[in-house]
Structure 1
Amino acid sequence: MTTPQRLETVRRLQTAMATGYATLGAWVLVHPSSVLSLGFTAPYAAMTNATTTLLARCFGAQAMTCGLVLGTSTMTPFSFTAFGLAMIPYIIGFNYWFGLGPARGMMSSLIWLDFVGNVFFGLGSLYCAKLLREQEVEDAKASNKKS
């Protein structure tokens, strides 16, 4: 892969992740009742109230902020690696706990879309880190040839 291809791939993946976070966060912020009714099974969705709506909106605002930061930051291999590894607790903790673990039955089957998204964010970030590391190595080799 050439330098422009690497950097374009990183830019596209970063933009896709940022857009995903910001868009889904905006949805939760603006219309939390639809997200709560889709995300929880009927017995739990029926228990939503002003507090759960407020907490959902706070979650949405955080996701929008994450999308904004991800979309406007110049990420390094380290920051992409950290972001990718930060998805592990969501995948193992949240997705396992509510999808297969002790809280199974609380979330609707759409929990698996969250799992797919978290895997995409994790692996996409690690792939971007790999591409940027390759770029750093290539840049170092080019710099050494000039010396």
Structure 2
Amino acid sequence: MTTTVQRLEMVRRLQTAMATAYAGLGAWVLIHPSSVIALCLTPKYAAMANTTTRLFARCFGAQAMTCGLLLGTSDMTPFSFTAFGVAMVPYLAWNVWFGVGPARGMVNELMLIDFVGNLFFMGGSLWCAKVLREEEGAKRK
């Protein structure tokens, strides 16, 4: 059985891992969008990429870096972890829509990694929220 201190340390580590992943992958997209486009889109769609596509990819990367920075420097509460976890729903829907849904064929199989990552962000955030809620409840007693 883990102690409260160990569980709170795990919350901190998960928060740091999620922040690092968001900021790191966002930086990659910001700095070298062409490589991400070539790696993640099927050849048919990657061939259509142009300056505007790369600009939009860079904007997405900058937003991801901002999210990672905020996640890594914020004192997260049970509510903020819950909000972050629930905020993963549209990303998971995107993965399904473009992976196996009506827009299938735009992204390649590597996007399964994105789906798994989004599940990790959702599950990890909700677990962190649960641990922090339990800790708050224990302090009140």
Relative to the length of structure 1, the TM-score reads 0.93
Summarize deviations over 1:85-139 as a string: whole Å, max 9, x none: 1101111x20111001011011011110110000000000000000001101111
Summarize deviations over 1:24-61 as a string: whole Å, max 9, x none: 00000001000000010001000000000000000000
For residues 42 and 56 of structure 1, what CA distance do their matches in structure 2 show?
17
* Structure-2 residue corresponding to 1:69: 70
Summarize deviations over 1:57-92 as a string: whole Å, max 9, x none: 00000000000000000000000001001101111x
Q: Which runs of 5+ in 2 are unaligned?
A: none
* Structure-2 residue corresponding to 1:135: 135
Question: By how many angstroms is 1:2 displaced?
Answer: 2.2
* Structure-2 residue corresponding to 1:48: 49
Percent identity of the aligned residues?
71
Q: Which runs of 5+ in 1 are unaligned?
A: 142-147
For residues 20 and 6 of structure 1, what CA distance do their matches in structure 2 show?
21
For residues 2 and 133 of structure 1, what CA distance do their matches in structure 2 show?
15
- Superposed CA RMSD in Å reads 0.7
For residues 118 and 65 of structure 2, what CA distance do their matches in structure 1 show?
16
* Structure-1 residue corresponding to 2:115: 115
SS for the counterpart of 1:135 is helix
Relative to the length of structure 2, the TM-score reads 0.97
